[in-house]
Amino acid sequence: MSTARLTVDLDALVSNWRALDSLSSDTVETAAVVKANGYGLGVQPVARALFKAGVKRFFVAVAEEGAALRDVLGPNAEINVFSGHMRGDTDMFGDLNLVPMINSIDQMLRHVEALPGHPFGIQLDTGMNRLGMEPEEWVALSETALNLGPNLIMSHLACADEPDHPMNRQQLETFHQLTDGLSVPRSLAATGGILLGPEYHFDITRPGVGLYGGLPFADAMPVARLDLPVIQTRELQAGETVGYGNTWTATEKTVIATVAAGYADGIHRIMGPKTSLYAGDVPCPIRGRISMDLIGVDITHLEEEPQGLTLLGPQQTVDVIADNAQTIGYEVLTALGGRFSRRYKGG
């Protein structure tokens, strides 16, 4: 096989959900965010495993993701759509019983006129300035909206991965000001918010990246493993170079393995100089530029030529790779390529 293999540990995924669930009281429901194809790992097996483990409420980014998820889970899961009720979404919301998180007066009018009596939630902007009704907009609309019976009011923290950031407290206080006294379930915390403590949990939490092994949930079990097959090896003499642009030059006799993956698979070029692949627990540094489909790796120090090398796994987590690429674990996970063969363990 010349394609890389992405192995997803569904038991680890479920363990991460249970660990985050255990941080809240029994009165708090722990949902799951499975947008972007289950953070790049495959929404069908990911959602099935979480549903089997007890998750009853899921969040996705757009209605099309909700439609795909409904096909996987059947009628007994609640599916909430962050983008709200957009033009062209009505049939999907109505036919598939998806729940839009309404973000504006325009969306509210569209939803009420097109689907009277259909469930909906409300998203409020408490300072992130991304999605949700502004406080002034909510104050003007709240009486009407509440009379229509929303099943959830939510907001999203901008800086929850920085526990001491003053924005966390500011948004918490704003959320209280806008929602205290209302008899509607509330949600503020994703993974980072859960870790900030019970006062951020309200009625429903919505872990995302922590389920998949990413920070800020430092105790998360690794979920994804990426093994790259070795296509060819060659011996270089001192002075020979590797890859486009001659960016790496051998200073002594060197053995280079060429592995099958590259930036077309979400392995970003910028990570190359700081990143190694692993033969078991032995690091093997990348040499030369990462190209579209191929990467050169120094295996001079190995006792035998490997059939494959590991990029992502317990030896090197998604967040280590993200640091090497000057990005975040979310981007690494969601960029993992469609050419990988996928294998699912457990679940």
φ/ψ (deg, to 5) at 177 = -60, -35
List, in order, residues 6 or more apart from 139 with CB less than 8 Å away: 178
C-alpha span between 275 and 338 (Å, rounded): 22
- Told to judge if 263 belongs to the known catalytic residues of this protein, a careful annotator would answer no
* Residue 35 annotated to the active site: yes
Q: Are 44 and 51 in contact (CB under 8 A)?
A: no
User: What are the start-end ranges of the E strands in the chain?
Assistant: 5-9, 29-30, 32-33, 57-60, 78-81, 99-102, 121-123, 153-154, 186-187, 204-205, 224-236, 241-242, 248-249, 254-260, 276-279, 282-287, 294-298, 308-312, 341-345
318: how many CB neighbours lie within 10 A of its CB? Answer: 28
Q: Which stretch of DSSP H or E encloses residue 142?
A: helix 135-147
Which DSSP letter does residue 159 get?
S
Catalytic member of 52, 56, 200, 244: 244
State how far the Cα of 327 lies from the Cα of 266, in Å rounded to an integer: 12
Among 347, 256, 274, 343, CA closest to 311: 274
* 330/39 Cα distance (integer angstroms): 7
Cis omega before residue 222 (within 30°)? no
Spatial neighbors of 249 by CB under 8 A, at least 6 apart, are 239, 240, 241
Instruction: Give whole-number Cα distances, 73 to 47, 51, 59, 76, 91, in Å.
Output: 7, 8, 13, 7, 19
8 Å CB contact between 287 and 316: no
Q: Are 99 and 151 in contact (CB under 8 A)?
A: yes
Q: Which residues are catalytic?
A: 35, 244
